[in-house]
Structure 1
Amino acid sequence: MTKTLSDLRLAAALAVLALVVAGCSSTPTETDHSGRYTIAQDHGPAQDVDVSGTGNAVPRYEAPRSAGNKSPYTVWGKQYRVMAANDADGYVQRGIASWYGKKFHGHKTSNGEIYDMYEMSAAHKSLPLPSYARVTNLDNGRSVIVRVNDRGPFHGDRLIDLSWAAAKKLDFLGQGTARVEVASITVLQDGSMTLAGQSWSPEGSNASAVVAEATGAQPEPSPLDGNALFVQLGSFSQVAPARRLEQAVRSRTGEPVRVRQITTASGDFHRVQVGPFGDSIDAERAMERLASEGFRQAMVLTDRH
């Protein structure tokens, strides 16, 4: 039977109507996730997330794995080699750190784990997977301990790619990159540890803390003992910003404040500290007062001369 022009127009209209109805269905259309990543431009979480309570990665012995440790391997035509465990034991190097976030969140890392941008992790081109490292921001003295479970970064001369949370704790999210020192942490089967090849153990019984005086790092809050406690608000490689912060604290709070200079393997740092306090309760109350005045980047530590 031959269709008239009006019949064809009616059929076309019905087809369009069917598509519209399908598009308005309450069942969402499946997104094609066949590609490696569905976000073109990497970024952090949509809402700011407080990572002050996120502790450092806790170094522990992990048996070597085959996943992610193929050596040599090639990326974008360039060949890389994975360090043997003995070579990684004494590894310490300075360079540029970058960070990665939402674009890779939920995807597999090079050793088959799932990347979580809120954890303290990192990607490195040659350290064995998994392994641990202390990363120090050379511009502000802040340090974190990360678990290396991914490969990269493969852009330019960057040394290490940090998780979003680790970069936030090192305070360089806004800049995108930072000058850092990366020192490997090796854990043997008996639990003993080395930092850049030297015998080392985390401060106290909290394995997530950093040995402040030995490394120039700022420790995570941990159980404290001793008679003199201070609330540290910042650590700077230059004295001028430390003095400005000292003056701001003194003028806005009236709290006793000092700038303490220390010399570490990473250089000289000027620490802005409020105190002393007789016990941790007084120090924590001081932290609350300081936070109410806008000084929220604070931590309690012991006074070591």
Structure 2
Amino acid sequence: MRFVPILVMFLLVFGCAPPPKVSKKVYAPKAPPTQRPYRVGGKVYYPLPSAQGYVEEGVASWYGPGFHGKTTASGERYNMYAYTAAHRILPMGTKVLVTNLENGRQVIVRINDRGPFVKGRIIDLSFAAARALGMHQKGTAWVRIQALSETSPKAHLSLKGRYFIQVGAFANYANAIKLKEKLRKRYSIVTIEPYSKDGRTFYRVQVFVANDLGRAKKMLSLLEKHFPQAFIIAR
């Protein structure tokens, strides 16, 4: 019983103490290293948070013996006999349907490296992929690349459809609104498409430009003058 007064005092003192302060700071997960902006040759590249709807045409090249066994940007060892490829901004792991427009051959590759950084080229293929497309001897070919959805093992691009051009992606919604209002002065349909990945939300600003790929490509060449990172989205 002699400890009762001490216990009562203890409860009175600490029972009236203010509750400990709880930090309200929210720690958002950082983007994986392969998704962060990077600089090559004085130019900054911004990897896309999503490859959904990505379509691009241009020159493909391939890389082989000089890089075989070396570490890629994804951390994997480059295997020239695997069906992989390097792209400047597509997310690592994206599966891409590559069509050689010069002979109609197709192959599916997985993006696991960054490049090519030669002007005018859009994708660097492994030796195995280049051989499958029949371009390994020539070295380059004019191709179309189309990102495949995770649920579809293979997709064929129709020239008719709804084509948008993505001109920017922002983590800050206010910046996306600003760009949308600016573009609305020239384009009637401008949308903001939110996309969430790894706890981060991005707001993609896209402009509807055409119902066929040919017209969309012409509009892309105009928009690229002001937005070098612009690319076509097929819906």
TM-score normalized by structure 1? 0.41
Once the two structures are TM-superposed, the CA of residue 167 in structure 1 deviates from its matched residue by 0.2
Indicate conservation of the 8 Å contact 2:35/2:49, yes or no.
no
Aligned residue for 2:53? 90
Matched, 1:148 2:111: yes
Letter in 2 for 1:104: F
Q: Give RMSD over aligned pairs.
A: 2.3
Q: How does 1:93-112 map to 2 (within 5 A)?
A: 93-112=56-75
Q: Secondary structure at the match of 2:130?
A: helix
Deviations 1:69-121 (A, max 9, x none): 222x1001111110111xx2010010000000011100111010010000000
SS at match of 1:167: helix
Gaps of 5+ in 2: 1-30, 159-211, 215-235
SS for the counterpart of 1:186 is coil
| Structure 1: runs of 5 or more not aligned | 1-64, 188-192, 194-200, 203-209, 217-264, 268-305
| Aligned twin of 1:68 | 34
Give the one of 120, 124, 127 matched to 1:164: 127
Give the fraction of aligned pairs with identical amino acids, expressed as a percent.
Answer: 47
Query: Match of 2:135, as an amino acid?
Result: F
For 1:261-300, what aligned pairs fall within 5 Å after superposition? none
In structure 2, give the amino acid aligned to 1:68: T
Question: Counterparts of 1:160 and 1:67 in 2: how far apart (Å)?
Answer: 21
Distance 2:55 2:117 in 1: 19
> In the alignment, what sits opposite 1:127?
90
2:47 matched to 1:77?
A: no
Structure 2 CA distance for aligned equivalents of residues 68 and 109 of structure 1: 11
CA contact (8 A) 1:68 1:151 kept: no
Q: Secondary structure at 2:131's aligned position in 1?
A: helix
- 1:149 counterpart letter in structure 2: N
| Counterparts of residues 3-82 of structure 1 (less than 5 Å) | 66-71=32-37, 73-82=38-47
Q: Distance in 1 between matches of 2:122 and 2:101?
A: 14
Q: What is the deviation of 1:67?
A: 3.8
In the TM superposition, residue 266 of structure 1 has moved relative to its aligned partner by 8.9
Q: Is the 8 A contact 2:62 2:126 kept in 1?
A: yes
TM-score normalized by the length of structure 2: 0.52
Q: Deviations over 1:109-139 (max 9, x none)?
A: 1010010000000000000112110000001
Show structure 1 runs of 4+ deviating over 6 A: none
SS in structure 1 opposite 2:134?
coil
Tell me how far 1:68 sits from its aligned partner. 2.2
Higher strand share: 2
Query: How far apart in 1 are the matches of 2:117 and 2:83?
Result: 20
Checking the alignment, whether the CA contact within 8 Å between 1:144 and 1:170 is kept in structure 2 is: yes
